[in-house]
Chains A and B, each alone.
Chain A
Amino acid sequence: AQTVTQSQPEMSVQEAETVTLSCTYDTSESDYYLFWYKQPPSRQMILVIRQEAYKQQNATENRFSVNFQKAAKSFSLKISDSQLGDAAMYFCAYSRGGSQGNLIFGKGTKLSVKP
């Protein structure tokens, strides 16, 4: 069975600094996708970034980038120039490819941003 592990229940970063959130996963599939979702206090789940396993290049979205280490089954999220609005729960998620693939979430990391 596929699993997603986020080993950092809480993290803190100073505004304008950089922080990295860790995620590891376990799968025997070759076709899969990885995601980072953000859940601010408003509860709304928002997709931050997505990585296809077959792509070697790390995905980036503005201040958000990932470090995808396929052999190590590691998928960390780097947030640069942290802003107060980045404070939220961050969930790493996995989905195998194909129409039956569904999101499997990690337990989340609560990120605090200090002014």
Chain B
Amino acid sequence: DTAVSQTPKYLVTQMGNDKSIKCEQNLGHDTMYWYKQDSKKFLKIMFSYNNKELIINETVPNRFSPKSPDKAHLNLHINSLELGDSAVYFCASSQGPGPLYEQYFGPGTRLTVT
């Protein structure tokens, strides 16, 4: 059983399109995250949700909108895709917010914008 799963694993699309990445966790965790890893492997948090409420929102363009329909899911929707959005996007979850709780990462979604 995969603890944190993401779909799709690979996504190739053209500039200007709108796309979504889905994330699901079956660990019963309350907190979920989205991270972006750029081409130089630099990993940075984008959003964090706790019990379906947004608690961390780093400086991310408005074109990125997370949605949490329930505690087990955190989807990432991206409007008007740009070349610079090409990256690997990781979803993660933890029992609660903050560093006391270990974060479990999904396998990542490699987004390529052409």
A residues at B contact (CB < 8 Å): 32-33, 35, 39, 42-47, 50, 89, 91, 95-105, 107-108
B residues at A contact (CB < 8 Å): 33, 40-45, 48, 50, 55-56, 58, 88, 90, 92, 96-100, 102-103, 105, 107-108
Partner of B41, one of A33, A46, A104, A107: A107
Expressed in whole angstroms, the Cα–Cα distance for A44 and B88 within the complex equals 11
**Contact status B103-A47, CB under 8 Å:** yes
**Contact status B98-A97, CB under 8 Å:** yes
User: Could you tell me the distance in whole angstroms from the C-beta of B50 to the nearest C-beta in chain A?
Assistant: 8
Question: Which residues of the other chain, A, contact B98 by a CB distance below 8 angstroms?
Answer: 95, 97-101
**Contact status B105-A45, CB under 8 Å:** yes
Expressed in whole angstroms, the Cα–Cα distance for A30 and B34 within the complex equals 27
Expressed in whole angstroms, the Cα–Cα distance for A27 and B41 within the complex equals 23
Q: A47-B102, A97-B99, A100-B98 are in contact. Are A105 and B44 (CB under 8 A)?
A: yes
Expressed in whole angstroms, the Cα–Cα distance for A107 and B43 within the complex equals 8
